[in-house]
């Protein structure tokens, strides 16, 4: 993912650690969930992004380049929202259900 971070101290000496993730318009499966998604980079693009001597123009080209990553998705257990329910089965596909856990024919 393309991101930037900064560490700084304010006038009172308090340390701050900040970061921002670059996003792009959603495409494919991600577009069915949200209108924005992280800007994912290939390994070659990552090397350019992390290169300390790369030009600003080369970095800007990464932000407007065509990025095509395919995503897939499936329904997961509503227990995923419960921090006390920590089981590997949370990562398994589940039948579609409404917010009350009732199975539905329409996902």
Give 40-74 pLDDT, tens digit per residue: 898 999 999 999 999 999 999 988 877 667 778 87
Domain shared by 58 and 101, yes or no: no
Domain shared by 63 and 85, yes or no: no
What is the Cα–Cα distance from 99 to 95, expressed in whole angstroms?
13
CB contact at 8 A, 73 and 34 = no
Beta strands in the chain (DSSP E): 3-9, 15-21, 23-25, 36-38
Q: Can you say how many angstroms the Cα of residue 47 is from the centroid of all Cα atoms in its chain?
A: 19
Domain shared by 7 and 47, yes or no: yes
**Tokens encoding 51:** 């290169």
Residue 82 domain boundaries = 74-107
Name the β-bridge partners of 36: 25
Give 1-36 pLDDT, tens digit per residue: 899 999 999 999 999 999 999 998 888 888 888 899
Domain shared by 25 and 63, yes or no: yes
Domain shared by 17 and 43, yes or no: yes
Structural domain count, the chain: 2
Predicted TM-score of the model (pTM): 0.64
């Amino acid at each position: 993912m393309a991101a930037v971070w900064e560490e700084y101290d304010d006038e009172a000496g308090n340390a701050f650690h900040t970061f921002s993730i670059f996003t792009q318009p959603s495409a494919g499966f991600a577009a069915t969930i949200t209108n924005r998604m992280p800007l994912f980079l290939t390994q070659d693009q990552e090397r350019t992004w992390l290169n300390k001597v790369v030009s600003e123009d080369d970095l800007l080209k990464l932000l407007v380049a065509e990025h095509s990553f395919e995503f897939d998705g499936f329904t997961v257990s509503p227990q995923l929202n419960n921090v006390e329910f920590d089981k590997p089965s949370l990562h398994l596909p589940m039948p579609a259900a409404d917010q009350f856990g009732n199975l539905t024919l329409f996902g």
